[in-house]
Structure 1
Amino acid sequence: MKLASFKHFTRACLLAGGLIGAIVPSIVHAETDRMVIFDDDGFALAQWMVLKAPHVKVLGIATVSGDFWQKEATAYALRGLEIANRKDVPVVQGATYPLVNSEKLTDKWEALYGKLVWKGAWMRSWVEKTTQPLPPYHAADVVPDLPWGNPTLKPSAENAAMFMIRMVHQYPGQVSIIECGPMTNLALAQKLDPEFASLAKELVYMGGSLNPRQKLTSPASAQFAREFGNSPRREFNIRFDPEAASITMRAPWKRIVMVPVDPSTETEMSAEFVKDIAAADTPIARIVKRSANNFPLWDEIAAAVWLDPSLIRTSADLYVDVNTMFGAQYGDILSWSEGYQPDVGEQKEKVVLTIDVPRMKALIKDLISKP
């Protein structure tokens, strides 16, 4: 699950911690630029990594509600592109509300089954005492002033689902989609056009969890690990819109790569790494300089393994779906090895279990330090 400061202020600057002593990975590319669409509920360092990567054409940034309401996520994306001097990349606005889930349903669920650690745009207060700042609770149409300054760019008039459908038809078999928020836009696109998923090259998504374990010893890492101690299959991106996630995962993608919470427990944004990366004195690095929070990477792992799949150390081929029954396990990940799946539409996914953390840190530093 992603926590508040990740996308409220430091989310857009989230890095792995530790010293850089590894060879920078070689970004995989063909003779032509790799095409990608980002779909997210904010704007993170992950987008900046891909925007600055060589031989990559970012077709657009789609926005969806999750950690932020869609309008606020759109403002972050527009401002992030301004900071990166990439005003050529369109921002397309997506879904404001989940397909079925709602704030009232979530309140009812909590009354029956216990408190959720993080509820994104619906979050009013922390359950337990924490030093983490809480994003101000507000209505879906309110966009507060951003800590990076407010954007002057405007979003595209096209909506996210139709934009993604148009792109996969324009470039059949060539468009990768990196999903780092709830999957509402993808589900809408698939329902509007049953060819959507089959025309894309692949889906790489950050979401879900299998059995995350604490790997680091810092207090922040311990706090994060407690979140999954009693609910190892629950993660915010999926829990916010479980029905959309199930529709998306059952769609006929050529390839699906799942980046669950599990590999992120080996990563941590540290003051040392922030200092290291901010030394480049680029516009992005100046924002990163204020971003140390010691929380794990989430979206950045998805971006990194898309840029360089050799960063994946171990993975498993699993059939994956989501529990959409409104009960205690609503929104939890379901997974099966070959032959054990119920075979009612589940797709096989490459599930990332561990990554080469030093090489990923080196890749992040190399990309973000570029002018």
Structure 2
Amino acid sequence: MSFRFTAHASNVRAVSSSFGFSQHVEYSAITMSCQQKSSEDRIRMLIDCDAGRDDAEAIAMALTQPNVEVVGITCVNGNTDVDNVCRNVLRLLKVYEREEIPVFKGCETSLLDIDKGKGIDHGDDDGFGNVHDYITPDMSLLKSEHAVNAIVRLADQYQGELSLLCIGPMTNIALAMRMDSELPKKLRDVTIMGGSLDGVGNTTVCGEFNFAVDPEAANIVLNSITQPATVLTYDVCEKHSLSKAWFDERLQIGTEKAKFISAICGTPVDDPYISWDGLAIIARLRSDAVLEKESQYATVELGCGLSRAQMIIDRRGKLEKPANVNLVKKLKMDIVKHMLIESVK
């Protein structure tokens, strides 16, 4: 695939060398609100993911919103290796009959490749419940252009229009921002699932999974963005859980989409059930779902001690830096449920 960023040719070669590019509830009022919003706000979205069951739910919500145009999906190592991530995304797109959306393979390791083994055991090794024979993807649809190059190109192509959703480790995004220092200015907005408000980790002592897999990348992104990113932290996600009974009832609709989500989530589903990445995209697509948020400056600890990968929030303003994150603290659960239901119809 042709690449027009001649000014970054050396960077492209460097990246290529280093990362191996090869119960029933009526929702009529909410539905009306969603339709009104759809006509008011058209969204072009680029999704960077490590799919991952909760990534699948986030992508599914984007695919089923009439006001959202997904211009690309970039894949990164995280929940599983990047080859599985690519395969999982293509499987999802096949089920949703959206195989025209380009998918790009990204980085196989973190920037420094030193935080190995930092994962969460979901009971599978492929990120999608080990149902390997359930939906065979057409791997020929995977684009030859590397995800990092694609991010740079799409941000340039859709200057001021592109909404970036980051729901995995941010290795691809950090490299893209290093390749093109103007990239953050070209984005319409950025939404991130990662970090924690209270400094308690779910992967390391202080590190949330997406940040702990690649702390350097998370640090680069938070300190490169030119407008505050919407951030859903894992501890806030835990406060927006749903019961396994609700999850099971939601998927009894019997559509191919519902069957697929049920299959990849496996049995038993965690109880309570949390759609981590799904909550992040809801915060972006439905501003009326955000009931409380907090604007602060945040960065990521890069030391080698116990606090490595912790999201540091400067609530007392000691660093005298402008806010770079809008930390979502509370969501409207009626809207969350509605969007999850709509995503499998």
TM-score (norm 2): 0.81
Give the Å deviation of 1:234.
1.9
* Larger RCO (CA within 8 A; separation ≥ 6): 1
Secondary structure class of the residue paired with 1:44:
helix
The structure-2 alpha-carbon separation of the partners of 1:297 and 1:367, relative to structure 1 and needing over 3 Å to count, comes to closer
The 2-side partners of 1:180 and 1:20 are apart by: 29
The structure-2 alpha-carbon separation of the partners of 1:359 and 1:95, relative to structure 1 and needing over 3 Å to count, comes to same
Aligned position for 2:69 = 57
The one of 235, 240, 259 equivalent to 1:267 is 240
| Alpha carbons 1:201, 1:254 under 8 Å: kept | no
| Alpha carbons 1:37, 1:59 under 8 Å: kept | yes
Give the Å deviation of 1:244.
0.5
Give the Å deviation of 1:197.
1.0
Give the Å deviation of 1:253.
3.1
The structure-2 alpha-carbon separation of the partners of 1:152 and 1:201, relative to structure 1 and needing over 3 Å to count, comes to same
1:1-150 alignment, distance < 5 Å? 20=25, 23-24=29-30, 26-27=33-34, 28-29=37-38, 33-42=42-51, 43-103=55-115, 106=116, 119-120=118-119, 133-135=123-125, 146=132, 148-150=134-136
Aligned position for 2:142 = 155
* Matching residue's letter, 2:47: F
The 1-side partners of 2:39 and 2:26 are apart by: 28
| Alpha carbons 1:319, 1:337 under 8 Å: kept | yes
- Alignment RMSD: 2.6
Count of aligned residue pairs for this structure pair = 308
The structure-2 alpha-carbon separation of the partners of 1:234 and 1:54, relative to structure 1 and needing over 3 Å to count, comes to same
- Are residues 1:196 and 2:183 paired? yes
Provide, for residues 117-170 of structure 1, a one-character-per-residue CA deviation record: whole Å limited to 9, x for no partner: xx23xx7xx7xxxxx624379xxxxxx872533312431111111111111111
Provide, for residues 78-104 of structure 1, a one-character-per-residue CA deviation record: whole Å limited to 9, x for no partner: 11100110011010111111011425x
1:313-324 alignment, distance < 5 Å? 313-324=291-302
Give the Å deviation of 1:31.
5.3
**Unpaired runs of at least 5, structure 2:** 1-22
Aligned position for 2:192 = 205
Give the Å deviation of 1:70.
0.8
| Alpha carbons 2:298, 2:323 under 8 Å: kept | yes
| Alpha carbons 2:199, 2:207 under 8 Å: kept | no
The 2-side partners of 1:281 and 1:199 are apart by: 42
| Alpha carbons 2:293, 2:329 under 8 Å: kept | yes
The one of 338, 341, 344 equivalent to 1:362 is 338
Provide, for residues 244-293 of structure 1, a one-character-per-residue CA deviation record: whole Å limited to 9, x for no partner: 10001111333411110122123335343233322332211112334333
The structure-2 alpha-carbon separation of the partners of 1:30 and 1:100, relative to structure 1 and needing over 3 Å to count, comes to farther
Secondary structure class of the residue paired with 1:96:
coil
| Alpha carbons 2:61, 2:342 under 8 Å: kept | no
| Alpha carbons 1:202, 1:253 under 8 Å: kept | no
Aligned position for 1:332 = 310
| Alpha carbons 1:200, 1:254 under 8 Å: kept | no
| Alpha carbons 1:168, 1:175 under 8 Å: kept | yes
| Alpha carbons 1:98, 1:184 under 8 Å: kept | yes
Give the Å deviation of 1:351.
0.3
Percent identity, aligned pairs only, is 23
The structure-2 alpha-carbon separation of the partners of 1:355 and 1:192, relative to structure 1 and needing over 3 Å to count, comes to same
* Matching residue's letter, 1:327: G
| Alpha carbons 1:60, 1:89 under 8 Å: kept | yes
1:266-285 alignment, distance < 5 Å? 266-285=239-258
* Matching residue's letter, 1:197: P
The structure-2 alpha-carbon separation of the partners of 1:196 and 1:320, relative to structure 1 and needing over 3 Å to count, comes to same
TM-score (norm 1): 0.76
Aligned position for 1:293 = 270
Higher share in helix = 2
The 1-side partners of 2:199 and 2:134 are apart by: 32
The 1-side partners of 2:41 and 2:331 are apart by: 27
Secondary structure class of the residue paired with 1:97:
coil
The one of 335, 340, 349 equivalent to 2:325 is 349
